[in-house]
Homo-oligomer: A and B are copies of this chain.
Amino acid sequence: MTEHVTSLNLCNPFDDDKLHEECGVFGIYGHSEAAALAALGLHALQHRGQEAAGIVSHDGRHFHSHKAMGKVGDNFSSEDVIKSLKGDAAVGHNRYATTGGTVLRNVQPIFADLANGGLAVAHNGNLTNASTLRRQLVAEGSIFQSTMDTEVIIHLVANSKKIKVVDRIVDAMHKITGAYSLVALTSKKLVGMRDPFGVRPLVLGKLDGAYILTSESCALDIIGAEFIRDVEPGEVIVIDETGISSTSPYTNPQKRFCIFEHIYFARPDSVVENRSVYDVRKGIGRQLAIENPVEADAVIPVPDSGTPAAIGYAEQSGLPFELGIIRNHYVGRTFIEPTDQIRHLGVKLKHNANQALIKGKRVVLVDDSIVRGTTSTKIVQMVRDAGAAEVHMRIASPPTTHSCFYGVDTPSRQKLLAAQYDIDEMCKFIGADSLSFISLDGLYVAMGEKGRNAATPQYCDACFTGEYPIDLVDHDSGADNELTLLSES
């Protein structure tokens, strides 16, 4: 019954050297299969968080909750579980941990029994003033049950002097700073809202007359729901038995959607902020080929996230697209506690170079980004070991030079390869014959813009530029240090 999680079920073979999206959310109101549909939606959003999942439903009288460490499919597919989550409305959440340790208490949705009824909240993003607010709340007598940002929101709602739950939620919104796309369930309403910069995604859909609020359109596809529109930055959507309504409590919301969602986080079959992710990635690959051509024999994607850009690169360059790196799909929780022998073999557990193909060839490797550079180094070496004549690395994003504070798990700046080295040094570090990144403007061009608007950039690109659109309250005040007094085993 101990709650520690020893290992994550990562899926991308090089996932440990990637940035990580923190969460996926799903809410549905007015469907007799609410919990089953929420489970499916969360399954479609599994790439946004594999550590834990939870669903809270409401049946008109009671709330029902099930949370579990691990994947949605492993924990929410039995008839028993789905039947226990009664009712026509549900909110669910996939978790990838950043703030808060990996115990069941820290799995969302969070539920609280407030004076005028229950409230369940599921949240994707990160508050930048959570620590500051938490200290104030504790000083006033609030008792926290978790170490999650989301609980700050719940306490603000509980302490609001407003009467109606939605007014209390809006009240809370005015106190928090940060990136947040959240769905909340009361005994009568499903509420969705996005921060005023719209950093994290949230879309509205519909199925059999029931409304859905979720992180990406792929969670609508899996259940055959219709995509309606993106929720707007700063918009609050309320769904109840009278229908749907929208308010915008913020006066000047300004869209700064996370550009990395298009580069890596979102599923290629999702449409986010009106663009096909697959299409954008192929476009980036084409632009990358225009900016950084090279004479070579084959374009090889680093699986799986580099594949669409590699297809675009191959099309633009006229070079053949080839599967030069074969991925072992059976990694699962593989080799959790490897022996030293196994550990030294490293990345080979997860893939293999296609020697018969690579031998003697000049290859272009296409990947989406470089974070620490450890994986790129291993891949270049593996491809060389397989006999490549030349290895040219092409990256479908600009150099990642800054940490994210808006709900993405990034290493500290000093661990980002591009924060330490220039491109030549990086090329030497990873051992490639050449290394190029798409330019910042080129990236915007590939997104359909004329280029980056330096005054008010069209996207949040802080990880490439260090221009943070939202105040880093805790970080700047030094309040973001450890809050946990209790360690559980």
Binding site for B on A (CB under 8 A): 1-3, 9, 11-12, 33, 36-37, 39-40, 43-44, 46-47, 50, 56, 62-75, 77-85, 104-105, 111-115, 117-118, 138-145, 154-155, 158-159, 218, 221-224, 267-269, 271, 276, 278-279, 304, 307-308, 311, 315, 320-323, 326, 328-339, 341-342, 345, 348-349, 352-357, 483-489
Contacts and interface: CB of A to CB of B under 8 A. Distances in A.
A341 B36 contact: yes
Contact of A74 (B44, B143, B333): B333
B332 A73 contact: yes
A112 to B, nearest CB: 4
B349 A43 contact: yes
B1 A104 contact: yes
Contacts of A154: 143
Contacts of A487: 62-65, 84
A85 B65 CA distance: 30
A313 B437 CA distance: 31
Given A46-B330, A269-B326, A65 B488 contact: yes
| Copies in the assembly, this chain | 4
B43 A276 contact: no
Given A112-B143, A145-B143, A355-B269, A489 B64 contact: yes
B486 A111 contact: yes
Contact of A271 (B105, B113, B356): B356
Q: Chain A's interface: helix, strand, loop or mixed, by majority?
A: mixed
Contact of A341 (B33, B111, B308): B33
Nearest to A268: B326
Contact of A158 (B68, B142, B328): B142
A483 B113 CA distance: 9
Contacts of A64: 486-489
Contacts of A304: 329
B341 A66 contact: no
A113 B348 CA distance: 37
Point out which of A81, A82, A111, A335 has the most chain B C-beta atoms below 10 A from its C-beta. A335
Contacts of A222: 345, 348-349, 352
Given A113-B144, A222-B345, A352 B486 contact: no
A198 to B, nearest CB: 21
A356 B339 CA distance: 45
Contacts of A338: 77, 79
**Minimum-distance CB pairs A-B, first 4:** A73-B334, A276-B356, A77-B335, A145-B145
Contacts of A337: 77-79
Contact of A323 (B84, B268, B348): B268
Given A64-B487, A143-B158, A330 B47 contact: yes
B354 A50 contact: no
Contacts of A138: 113-115
Nearest to A52: B1
Contacts of A82: 339, 341-342
A355 B269 CA distance: 7
A229 to B, nearest CB: 16
Contacts of A485: 62-63, 113, 117-118
A57 to B, nearest CB: 10
B486 A62 contact: yes
Contacts of A321: 311, 321
